[in-house]
Structure 1
C-alpha cells in the first residue's frame, strides 16, 4: 500500500513538471490543437502523462518496489506503442480509421484469450477499441478527459485490487496520478492539451485493465461491469454517432455549454456522471449490487443523450450567437 502511494505521488509530481516543461517545446514546434481557432493549445500533455506513467511503473518494477507482475508489462508496452502512433497523429494528420486499426491491433495483443475464449476475446478487442477512441473524443473540452480518466482509473484500480492484481492496481493508480498532474495545467482555460498521444494511451490502458480484471467471469456480468465503468464514454460515442447522422452537432460538453453551463460546470457535471457509473461498476464487480444496476446506468445514459439532442440553447447562448453573427 505504501509503495503504491509513493509511486502515485512520484507520478503526480513528475507529470506536473513534465507538462510545464514540454509546453514551450510544443509551442515552438507547432504541435497545437488544430480544432481551436481562438487560441493555441499545445498538445504536449499526453507525452508528459505517458512518460510519467511509464517511467514510474518501469522503475518500480525493475527495483522490486512495486512489481507489475505478469501481463501488465505487455499492456504497458502496447499502450506506449499506441501512444507513439497518437503522437504521430498530433504532429501529422492521420485518418481516424488508422487510429482505430492501430488500437484494435494493440488490443488484440493484450487480451487474455485463455480466460476469455476466442469469441469473448474478439468482443473484448472491439470494446477496448471503442472505449479508447471514445476517450480520445473527450479531449475536445478542457479538463474533461483528465477528470473522467482519473475517476475511471480509480474505479478500475479498485476492481483490480479486489482481484488481488496488485501490479495492475499500482499501474492504474500511477496513471490516475499522472492524469491529475496533467489536469493542473488542463483545467479551464487549458494551457495544454492531452492530444491523441495521451488520450489513446490512457483510454487503452483503462479499457485493457478493466478487461483483465473481468477475465474469467461470465460474459453477461462482465459486460455489465465494463459498461458501467465507462458509461460516460459510451454516452459520448453515442451522441457523436447520432449527431453525425444529421440530428445536430457537438459532443456532451458542447451540448451542456449550449445550455449555459460554464466550462468548469461541464467538468463537474460530467465528472459526477462518470463517478456514478464507475461506482455502480465497482459495486457490481464486488457483488454488492445486482447486475441489473448496470441497466439503470444504461437507461440514464440514454435519457441524457436523447435529452441533450432535443435541448435548445439557453437565452444567454442565443444572445451570444446573435452578437457573434452580427
Structure 2
C-alpha cells in the first residue's frame, strides 16, 4: 500500500517534469501536432511512457511490487507500441502500419492458456480497437488523458479485486503519470499526448483488462470490457458512421469526433472534456460493479443503450461544411483539357 502511494507520486512528478523538459526540444525539432489551431509539441506521450515504464520497472526490479507472470512482457509490448506511435508523430505513416504493429504486440501478450485460441484472437482485436480508439480520443485537449485516468482506476479496481497486486500498482502508476501529463495538457494545451502516448495508454489499459477477465464467461467478459472502453468505442463508431454517410474517406481527418460535436452544441473545451469524463466514469463504474457482482450483468445493456443514444444524437450535429466549388480558372482549365 505504501509503495503504491510512493510509486504513484513518483510517476506523477516524473511525467509532469519530463513533459515540461521535453517541450522546447520538441519545438526545435518540429515534433508538433498541427491539428490544433496552433502547433502543439507531442511529447506528453513520451513523458507518460517513460514515467510509467521507469516506475513500474523499478518496483519489479527491487521486488517491492513484482508485476507478476506475463505482466512484464505486457509492459515491454506496450513500450514497443509506443515506439510505433512515436514514429507516427515524427512522420506520416499509414494506419495499417500502426494497426498491424499493435496487433502483433497484442498477439504476444494475450494469455491464450486461459482464454482459448478463439477468444484469444477476439481479445487481440479488442486490444487493437481500444488502442486505436484512444488515439482517436486525442482529438481534443485533455480528453484522452482524462478518460485514460478514469479507465485506469476502474481497471485497477478490477485487478485489486482479483488480487493481482502488481497489475493494480501498474495501473495506478499509469493513472498518476497521465495526471502529471494533464497539468500541461488541460485546455489550452502546452503539450499533447500524440500517437506515442495515446496508443500506449489504450494498449496498456485494454491488455490489463483482458488479463483481469481472462478465464471467465466470454459474454460477461465482453460486457465488462465494453463498459471500460465505452467512450473510446463510441467515438470510433460515431466517426465511422458519420464519414460513411457523408461519403468522405474513412481515414481523412475531420472535426467530427465526440468533443468536436459537443463544441458545436455550445460547450467550452473544458466543458466537453468534463462531460465525456463523466460518461466514461459512469460506464467504468458499471463495469467494475458488474465484475465484483454488486449489480447484474444486465446493467451493461444500459451502458450500451446510452452509447447508442449518444452516437445517434450526435450524428445529427452538422460538422462538415459545404464542399468548395472550383474556381473559374480551374473550371476553364478542366474544360480545355476535356476538349
- TM-score for both structures, normalised by structure 2: 0.91
Which residue number in structure 1 is paired with residue 308 of structure 2? 302
- In the TM superposition, structure 1's runs of 4+ consecutive aligned residues that sit over 3 Å from their partners are none
After TM superposition, give the deviation of residue 280 of structure 1 in Å. 0.1
TM-score normalized by the length of structure 1: 0.94
Cα distance in 2 for partners of 1:123, 1:308 equals 29
CA shift at 1:94, angstroms? 0.7
Alpha-carbon distance between aligned partners in 1 of 2:150 and 2:216, rounded to the nearest angstrom = 23
Q: Distance in 1 between matches of 2:317 and 2:90?
A: 36
Deviations 1:241-285 (A, max 9, x none): 112203485000000000000000001100000000000000000
Give yes or no for contact 1:259–1:312 (8 Å, CA) kept in 2: no
**Which residue of structure 2 lines up, in the alignment, with residue 321 of structure 1?**
none
String of CA shifts for 1:278-321, please: whole Å, max 9, x gaps.
Answer: 000000000111111111100100101100111358xxxx9xxx
Provide the C-alpha distance between the structure 1 equivalents of 2:14 and 2:317, rounded to a whole number of angstroms.
42
Q: Alpha carbon RMSD of aligned pairs, Å?
A: 1.2
Q: Where do 5+ consecutive residues of structure 2 fail to align? A: 249-254, 322-339
Kept in 2: contact 1:157–1:172 (CA 8 A): yes
What is residue 162 of structure 2 aligned with on the other side? 163
SS of the counterpart of 1:28? helix
Question: Does the Cα contact within 8 Å between 1:225 and 1:281 map onto a contact in 2?
Answer: yes
In 2, distance between residues paired with 1:74 and 1:5? 24
* Bigger Rg, structure 1 or 2: 2
Deviations 1:3-31 (A, max 9, x none): 11110010000000000000111100100
- Structure 1: runs of 5+ lacking an equivalent: 319-326
2:292 aligned residue? 286
Kindly tell me the number of residue pairs found equivalent between the two proteins.
313
Q: How does 1:92-241 map to 2 (within 5 A)?
A: 92-241=91-240
**Corresponding residue for residue 14 of structure 1:** 14
Alignment of 1:45-64 (within 5 A): 45-64=44-63
- Structure 2 residue aligned with 1:251: 257
Could you say which residue in structure 1 is the equivalent of 2:327? none
Greater helix share, 1 or 2?
Answer: 1
